[in-house]
Amino acid sequence: MEIKWLKTFIIAASYENFRQASEDLFLTQPAVSKHIQRLQQELGAELFEKKGKYIALTEAGRFFLPHAQKMVRAYEEGVGNFKLWKQGYNRKLTISAAPQIAASVLPSLIKQFVEISPY
């Protein structure tokens, strides 16, 4: 199973339209269809049913969608964390601040913190 198949499935499910999914993903419509076919073969289940020009998730598709979303999020988070680790970052600090403070005061406070922090 490939991440690109999962991403294609998630986008196609959000639009319920392969053409719109292809535009969003910068792929051809046949490529989107092929990704979905391969994913369906891998899972052994139909994820979409055709309804005229449109598609709709099957029961299997509705069941699998949150799992696909979770897998893609975990993959992207893991790759992001690995890239940060490669750059020498080993911890993450999240700070919430108003935009004006974030642009004016916060940079000097962070610099002072880094200088005195033993970590």
- Per-residue pLDDT tens for 44-102? 999 999 887 789 999 999 999 999 999 999 999 999 989 988 888 777 778 888 888 88
User: What pLDDT, on a 0 to 100 scale, did the predictor assign at position 97?
Assistant: 85
Report the alpha-carbon distance of residue 83 to residue 86 in Å, rounded: 5
> What are the helix (H) ranges across the chain?
3-15, 18-25, 29-43, 59-86, 99-104, 106-116
User: What pLDDT, on a 0 to 100 scale, did the predictor assign at position 112?
Assistant: 86
Class assignment of domain 3-94?
mainly alpha
Higher pLDDT, 93 or 20: 20
User: What pLDDT, on a 0 to 100 scale, did the predictor assign at position 118?
Assistant: 67
116 CB contacts (<8 Å, ≥6 apart)?
none
Here the tokens at position 5 are 């198949």
pLDDT value at 30 more than 70 = yes
Amino acid letter, residue 43 = L
16 CB contacts (<8 Å, ≥6 apart)?
54, 55, 56, 57
pLDDT value at 119 more than 90 = no
* Paired strand residues for 49: 56
Expressed in angstroms, the distance from the first to the final Cα of the chain is 40
For residues 91 and 74, the answer to whether their CB atoms sit within 8 Å is no
